[in-house]
Chains A and B, each alone.
Chain A
Amino acid sequence: DQQVKQNSPSLSVQEGRISILNCDYTNSMFDYFLWYKKYPAEGPTFLISISSIKDKNEDGRFTVFLNKSAKHLSLHIVPSQPGDSAVYFCAAYTDKLIFGTGTRLQVFP
């Protein structure tokens, strides 16, 4: 039973445009949410996080939005660049990290 769900396995976006990756969760006890990015043949690396007491956190081109009532968070990348092409994992934390299944983002020229 997946507590953290990424329903879009892949996303293709043109360079310069916005990429929006979505994530839904079921457990209202999650108090911290994170996004990790993974390139082929490498381990995931931390990208950005948000506490459950906030609804937005921004870091450069990356912004994470949290909608607690909908149990939904999203990652916005603006502008998208070819180097952003990777698999993005959403994760949520209570006493341990629970990851989603990932969304493969491809940014094309």
Chain B
Amino acid sequence: DAGVIQSPRHEVTEMGQEVTLRCKPISGHNSLFWYRQTMMRGLELLIYFNNNVPIDDSGMPEDRFSAKMPNASFSTLKIQPSEPRDSAVYFCASTRKGPQETQYFGPGTRLLVL
């Protein structure tokens, strides 16, 4: 079975550029989560969707970050404009019904903003 798929796996960009991270959840999973991992703050929940609808975006750092889920099999996290402090590993996770279930994580996208 395919797990959660994320692309790209690595992204290096310059400050000010737009960055788009992509995620395909496990088929049949209706909840999708975006996390950011940093040394200082560990894994932080940025936003989660249930049935393609954003439920909680309180973790989104600021207006430079946006996330969409146009259908059940695809989500994007966009940073525009990117800044060096956005450098981190971004994970996508999914569950069948909601955050109370075991979350299955993708391999992550390592982002470096120069």
Residues of A at under 8 Å CB distance from B? 2, 4, 6, 32, 34, 41-46, 89, 91, 93, 95-102
Residues of B within 8 A of A43 (CB): 4, 91, 93, 104-108
Nearest-neighbor residue (CB-CB) of B102 within chain A: A46
Interchain CB contact under 8 A, B44 and A99: yes
Judging by beta carbons under 8 Å apart, are A32 and B39 in contact? no
Question: What's the least CB distance linking A96 to chain B, in Å?
Answer: 5
Binding site for A on B (CB under 8 A): 4, 35, 39-45, 48, 56, 91, 93, 99-100, 102-108
**Would you give 17 A-B contacts (Cβ < 8 Å), ordered by A?**
A2-B41, A4-B42, A6-B42, A43-B105, A43-B108, A44-B91, A45-B105, A46-B104, A95-B99, A96-B48, A96-B99, A98-B45, A99-B35, A99-B44, A99-B45, A101-B42, A102-B43
**Closest chain A CB from B22 CB (angstroms):** 15
B75 vs chain A, min Cβ distance (A): 15
Among B35, B45, B107, contact of A42 (Cβ-Cβ < 8 Å): B107
A96 surroundings in chain B (CB, below 8 A): 45, 48, 56, 99
Whether the Cβ atoms of A101 and B40 lie closer than 8 Å is yes
B45 touches A101 (CB 8 A): no
Q: A45-B105, A89-B43, A96-B99 are in contact. List 4 more A-B contacts (CB 8 A).
A: A42-B107, A43-B108, A46-B103, A93-B100
Bound together, the chains give a CA A26 to CA B93 distance in angstroms of 25
Separation of A41 and B109 alpha carbons in the complex (Å): 9
Closest Cβ of chain B to A27, distance in Å, is 15
Q: Is the CB of B42 within 8 A of A99?
A: yes
B110 to chain A, nearest CB (A): 9
Complex CA–CA separation, A54 to B114 (angstroms)? 47
6 residue pairs, one from A and one from B, having the closest CB atoms: A43-B105, A101-B42, A99-B43, A46-B102, A96-B99, A44-B105
Measured in the bound complex, the distance between the Cα atoms of B59 and A99 in whole Å is 13
